[in-house]
């Protein structure tokens, strides 16, 4: 038995939160909040108006599609959250927004900040002097090793990401197309997937979303749009969850061509849950997610991806699915986070025995 907790989750501010959103951090937040709520804990999610969330929604303002409007929207988002926290009682805050944790010094309860990105994507000075009530966790071992050089901690707590496996049905029979699925930006390099499709002679479906940043849209216009003219690649803009699942279930293989040091890969987990193998570049945590030669292939360059595609029929769909069930379920992920929550609350009570934090009745 564990004490029933009251948790505030902080989402990325720019877009409404729902199962249709492309962002990995947002999908992790939804999966964790859903699992934690189902175990009897009280969940509130701070996100843009129109978000569909487990538990209660703290609406922080209107989502925006205006180009380069992030800083204004972020300030609005954080202001609403801080005002709410000043007038509400929570056991802890779990930040998955990527930035709210920098305001943790203004929060009177423990804050857990999940770092979804590589170290170079965060302002270095923001990681130096952090409040004592702020705890970071990473989402892969390779990410934790890289952050250990920045955060001045001996070991960064790691909770690997997970997915709701039941939402990605296993399908053994595949069709004759490759799939690239995700957020369309330069570091994800979908243009490389287009080139691989040309070289391999296989059709490619490129599905994803261009976020409202000028440099993302300029990249799409410069590198992706011209490659669609060949007819080899079909582009699906902002696919619904249902469309995404159908694409993942029937693809011959999922391609991950990212040039960034990836800290995880939800789309790889989703593909493998459907029995679809993954071919990925050797970047960051991708070798931790994809079992080379068992659930797909890890390649060193575009040439290696092409060779892997030629051998993709050697990968057994059932092995892909079993791998995800064993290692990357949302239930496992939520249990690990709940363990951290309970420890943070217990540590806070030891520091302040008279605190009223965590006085709610027990829940399973």
CATH code of 39's domain: 3.40.50.2000
Rounded to two decimals, what is the model's pTM? 0.91
Asked whether the predicted pLDDT for residue 346 surpasses 80, the reply is yes
List pLDDT tens digits, range 302-345.
Answer: 999 999 999 999 999 999 999 999 999 999 999 999 999 999 99
List pLDDT tens digits, range 169-203.
Answer: 999 999 999 999 999 999 999 999 999 999 999 99
List pLDDT tens digits, range 258-300.
Answer: 999 999 999 999 999 999 999 999 999 999 999 999 999 999 9
Asked whether the predicted pLDDT for residue 130 surpasses 80, the reply is no
Strand partners, 47: 59
pLDDT at 154: 57
- Residue among 357, 139, 162 at smallest CA distance from 266: 162
Strand partners, 233: 204
Residues 213, 271, single domain; the answer is yes
Q: What distance in Å separates the CA atoms of residue 202 and residue 196, rounded to the nearest whole number?
A: 9
Q: What distance in Å separates the CA atoms of residue 75 and residue 178, rounded to the nearest whole number?
A: 40
Query: Quick one: average pLDDT of 109-132?
Result: 85
Total structural domains in the chain?
2
Query: Quick one: average pLDDT of 23-37?
Result: 95
Show the domain range for 35.
2-162+329-363
Residues 317, 340, single domain; the answer is no
Residues 151, 172, single domain; the answer is no
């Amino acid at each position: 038995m564990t004490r029933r907790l009251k948790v505030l989750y902080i989402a990325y501010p720019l877009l409404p939160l729902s199962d249709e959103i492309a962002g990995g951090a947002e999908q992790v937040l939804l999966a964790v909040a859903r699992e934690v709520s189902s175990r009897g804990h009280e969940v509130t999610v701070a996100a843009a108006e129109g978000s569909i969330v487990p538990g209660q929604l703290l609406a922080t303002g209107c989502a925006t599609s205006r180009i380069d409007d992030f800083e204004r929207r972020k300030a609005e988002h954080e202001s609403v959250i801080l005002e709410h926290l000043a007038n509400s009682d929570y056991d802890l805050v779990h930040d998955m927004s990527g930035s709210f944790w920098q305001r943790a010094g203004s929060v009177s309860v423990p804050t857990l900040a999940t770092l979804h990105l590589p170290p170079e994507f965060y302002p270095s000075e923001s990681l130096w002097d952090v409040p004592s009530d702020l705890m970071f966790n990473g989402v892969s071992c390779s990410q934790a090793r890289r952050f250990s050089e920045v955060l001045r901690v001996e070991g960064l707590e790691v909770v690997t990401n997970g997915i709701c496996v039941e939402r990605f049905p296993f399908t053994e029979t595949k069709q004759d197309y490759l799939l690239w699925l995700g957020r369309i930006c330069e570091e994800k390099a979908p243009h490389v997937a287009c080139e691989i499709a040309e070289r391999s002679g296989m059709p490619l479906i490129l599905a994803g979303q261009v976020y409202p940043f000028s440099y993302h849209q300029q990249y799409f216009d410069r590198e992706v749009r011209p490659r669609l003219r060949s007819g080899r690649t079909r582009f699906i803009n902002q696919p619904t969850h249902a469309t995404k699942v159908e694409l993942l279930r029937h693809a011959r293989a999922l391609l991950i061509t990212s040039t960034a040091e990836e800290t995880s890969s939800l789309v790889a987990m989703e593909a493998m849950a459907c029995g679809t193998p993954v071919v990925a570049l050797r970047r960051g945590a991708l070798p931790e997610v994809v079992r080379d030669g068992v659930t797909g292939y890890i390649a060193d360059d575009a040439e290696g991806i092409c060779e892997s595609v030629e051998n993709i029929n050697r990968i057994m769909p059932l092995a892909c699915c079993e791998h995800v069930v064993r290692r990357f379920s949302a239930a496992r992920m939520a249990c690990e986070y709940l363990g951290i929550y309970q420890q943070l609350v217990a540590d806070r009570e030891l520091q302040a025995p008279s605190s009223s934090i965590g006085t709610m009745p027990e829940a399973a």
